[in-house]
């Protein structure tokens, strides 16, 4: 692999292009923090995030496929760092899928709903108060009789930037429910979800609510029920466990983004309950966890290490043989 034509990470592994994309945006986000009084420490941490990546060759023993797997990196873990948002999302998705077989075995007849709950846009300076209202409303929603058929749930908060510079906070909620919620006495119509959310918010207007049933399919020949459910849920799991704020929104208006950072400081954007309470292991997030989000446990490790250093001018990770071995502490 000493071919001189292989200079960048994407030359070795085109599938790892997302590293370049996310790290490039991280430079822009870090720059906003560095130029703002009081946010310099965030900027320094984001600027130093994942500066060097060390990969190893890994072979999948079942398929024989050999590819690069991340083995070492240092992450800043700043909430709005695009690299860390991406890694965190991958980590949560992996944990969810790992937990699914046991849950499906215990609740084989369960169905899944994807519920989005919104409120009217608010000034970004009032975002913190609005989130407090929304969280309290969700607590009230859980106590309603219509929620009794919910076996477990995963809820995330997303905040987008409105065209007028306002903030648009909303909840994405994956609900694991009993079959009765889709038919018969337990069925909850869309109009009723709107009424429930309006009452729980204690507002006079009808908030936008989107409720979708995840289509169930019988397992294919030779396919297990958990594998079938994973395929059914893949799209909604990605939607639920994605970024809390779109990287593009962070860059549109730096002042909006800085105020967002102030408003959401120390606020939790992910919550779980019922039989899904522990699937994401929200209390556990180490540097090693963010490395393993890349599938480090899959396949063999040949022991080699290939380092790639970030080159901001090129907006690419470039092969850096001098950094193959980590510095000894």
Structural domain contains residue 84: no
- CATH code for the domain of 267: 3.30.70.1910
68-75 mean pLDDT: 94
Taking the C-alpha atoms of residue 194 and residue 206, their distance in angstroms, rounded to an integer, is 6
**Helix and strand totals (H; E) in the chain:** 10, 9
Q: What is the pLDDT of residue 235?
A: 83
Averaged pLDDT of the chain? 91
Q: Are 71 and 93 contained in the same domain?
A: no
In this structure, are 150 and 263 located in the same domain?
yes
294 inside domain: yes
Q: Which domain holds residue 292?
A: 1-77+286-329
d(CA 265, CA 137): 20
* Rounded-to-integer distance, Cα 200 and Cα 206, Å: 11
Same-domain check for residues 3 and 140: no
What is the C-alpha to C-alpha distance for residues 113 and 58, in angstroms, rounded to an integer? Answer: 37
Which of 266, 284, 302 is the endpoint of a domain?
284
Is 210 part of a structural domain of the chain? yes
Please determine, for residue 328, whether its predicted confidence score (pLDDT) is greater than 80.
no
**What is the pLDDT, as a whole number, of residue 301?**
82
User: Do 114 and 256 share a domain, yes or no?
Assistant: yes
**For strand 306-311 and strand 316-319, is the pairing parallel, antiparallel, or unpaired?**
antiparallel
What pLDDT band is residue 4 in, cutting at 50, 70 and 90?
Answer: low
Residue 122 shares a structural domain with residue 245: yes
The secondary element (H helix, E strand) that includes residue 26 is helix 17-34
In 3D space, the residue among 250, 318, 323, 289 whose CA is nearest the CA of residue 20 turns out to be 318
Does the pLDDT value for residue 1 go beyond 50?
no
Q: What is the pLDDT of residues 288-312, one digit of tens each?
A: 999 998 665 567 788 889 999 999 9
Report DSSP state, residue 8.
B
Least confident stretch, 156-165, 170-179, 214-223: 214-223
Mean pLDDT for 17-29 is 97
Strand-pair category, 150-161 with 111-118 = unpaired
Question: Looking at residue 3, what is its pLDDT?
Answer: 54
Integer Cα distance of 171 and 205 in angstroms = 18
Whether the Cβ atoms of residue 289 and residue 86 lie closer than 8 Å to each other: no
- Is the pLDDT at 216 greater than 80? The verdict is no
Q: Global pTM? A: 0.90
Task: Examine the domain organization and report whether 31 and 126 are in the same domain.
Answer: no
Contact indicator for 218, 231 with CB cutoff of 8 Å? no
Flag whether pLDDT at 125 surpasses 50. Answer: yes
Same structural domain, 114 and 203: yes
Q: Distance of CA 97 to CAs 171, 228, 329, Å?
A: 21, 12, 35
Residues 16 and 108 in one domain: no
Assess whether 253 and 120 both reside in one domain: yes
φ/ψ of 173, rounded to 5, equals -130, 125
What is the domain count for the chain?
2
Residues 88-97: b if buried by 16+ CB within 10 A, e if exposed:
bbbbbbbbbb
- Whether 257 and 311 map to the same domain: the answer is no
Q: Does the structure show a pLDDT above 50 at 59?
A: yes
Q: Does some domain include residue 82?
A: no
Query: Do 140 and 98 have their domain in common?
Result: yes
């Amino acid at each position: 692999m000493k071919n001189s034509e292989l200079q960048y990470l994407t030359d070795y592994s085109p599938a790892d292009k997302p590293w370049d994309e996310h790290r490039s945006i991280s430079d822009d986000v870090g720059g906003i923090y560095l130029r703002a009084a009081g946010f310099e420490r965030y900027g320094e941490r984001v600027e130093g995030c994942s500066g060097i990546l060390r990969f190893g060759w890994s072979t999948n023993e079942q398929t024989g496929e050999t590819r690069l797997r991340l083995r070492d990196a240092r992450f800043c873990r700043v909430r709005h760092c695009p690299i860390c948002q991406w890694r965190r999302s991958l980590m949560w998705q992996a944990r969810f899928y790992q937990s699914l077989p046991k849950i499906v075995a215990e609740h084989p007849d369960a169905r899944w709903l994807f519920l989005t709950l919104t409120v009217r846009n608010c000034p970004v300076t009032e975002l913190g108060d609005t989130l407090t209202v929304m969280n309290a409303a969700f607590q009230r929603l859980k106590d309603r009789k219509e929620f009794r058929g919910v076996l477990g749930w995963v809820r995330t908060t997303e905040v987008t930037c409105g065209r007028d510079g306002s903030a648009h906070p909303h909840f994405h909620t994956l609900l694991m429910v009993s079959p009765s919620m889709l038919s018969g006495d337990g069925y909850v119509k869309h109009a009723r979800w709107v009424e429930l959310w309006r009452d729980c918010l204690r507002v006079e207007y009808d908030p936008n609510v989107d409720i979708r049933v995840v289509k169930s399919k019988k397992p294919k020949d030779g396919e297990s029920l958990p594998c079938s459910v994973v395929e059914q849920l893949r799209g909604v799991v990605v939607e639920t466990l994605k970024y809390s704020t779109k990287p593009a929104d962070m860059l549109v208006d730096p002042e909006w983004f800085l105020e967002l950072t102030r408003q959401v400081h120390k606020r939790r954007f992910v919550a779980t309950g019922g039989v899904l309470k522990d699937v994401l292991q929200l209390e556990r997030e180490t540097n090693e966890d963010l490395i393993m989000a890349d599938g480090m446990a899959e396949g063999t490790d040949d022991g080699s290490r290939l380092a790639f250093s970030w080159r901001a001018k090129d907006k690419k990770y470039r092969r850096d043989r001098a950094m193959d071995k980590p510095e000894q502490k």
